[in-house]
Structure 1
């Protein structure tokens, strides 16, 4: 039974036909001179286009699309704090902070994505702080209103006692 199984498997270090031929023809037709010395230097645009983080990859387009979230967050600075969502901005803040660190760990390191996530986290922190300050102001205002109502009630009671 084991011999049948072994016969159906390829050899342990077997190469395909194309790999065997490629290893035989390596540097066969190259001249002794370096071809890079004769070639014109590439422009920054050509290097960027061929880069592993260039516009032909998700490493470029993901940050470009994410800048939209940052711009929307910045445009929300003009909105009143009571119309902002704490859960949404907390999620954006958390996402920005976590992914900023992750972009510096993964390979290839994506500094463009790390930058957009950093700014997304910053915008989220600003918005969350605006929301918290608004809630604190509402609490303080509610306390002042309740104190004023108590003062008015005490004044009415004092007037009733004087008139009676």
Structure 2
């Protein structure tokens, strides 16, 4: 019984939404079907630049426009990191930005409708990531000499600590053995 109520509600809302969209339809358009290419070409010649941009499938009313606009914030933030020292940058984060930019640049040119604005922002995002990854690798490479010396010092300190712990453990074992021998005699 409850499934029938839900089914009736679904059908009534679908009917209401279909009829509610009638005032927003273009004159002469049937349902949500698009006009032929000839009619679209004639209409495009009569429209201003703003109207063509507004009614475009990748125009201002769509996510195809606003997603790249918002993604420029990532590019600007990456460019702001150019002023930061390389040792404070995250290699994994910048490698992810570089990979994301490369993958999505290609993908934006394959999908339909082709979104050149999104491809552009992804290209620059990949470039910013590549510059930052290069800076990080160059900084790490310049630190290899001091890193090797620091690692050798750390190795000697660790070896001395291990020897001291081993010596203390041997002393504790000897004491325990003496106590066992004394108790048994």
Structure-2-length-normalised TM-score: 0.56
Match status 1:99 vs 2:104: yes
Note if contact 2:98-2:126 (Cα within 8 Å) is conserved in structure 1. yes
Map of 1:158 onto structure 2: none
TM superposition shift of 1:46: 1.1
Q: 1:125 aligns with which of 127, 130, 136?
A: 130
1:134 paired residue number: 139
Runs of 4+ that moved beyond 4 A: 36-40, 143-146
Could you tell me how far 1:55 is from its partner in structure 2? 1.1
Matched residue count: 115
Which protein, 1 or 2, shows the higher relative CO under an 8 Å CA cutoff with sep ≥ 6? 1
| Greater helix content | 2
Gaps of 5+ in 1: 1-24, 27-33, 147-164
- The aligned counterpart of 2:56 is 51
C-alpha spacing 1:100/1:141, structure 2 compared with 1 (3 Å): same
Q: 1:28-73: per-residue Cα shift (whole Å, max 9, x none)?
A: xxxxxx9x97998322111101111111101001101100000000
Structure 1 vs Structure 2 CA RMSD: 2.9
Q: TM-score, normalised by structure 1?
A: 0.63
Q: Quote how far apart the aligned CAs of 1:80 are.
A: 0.4
Where in structure 2 are there 5+ consecutive unaligned residues? 1-27, 30-38, 152-185
| CA shift in 2, pair 1:63/1:40, >3 Å | closer
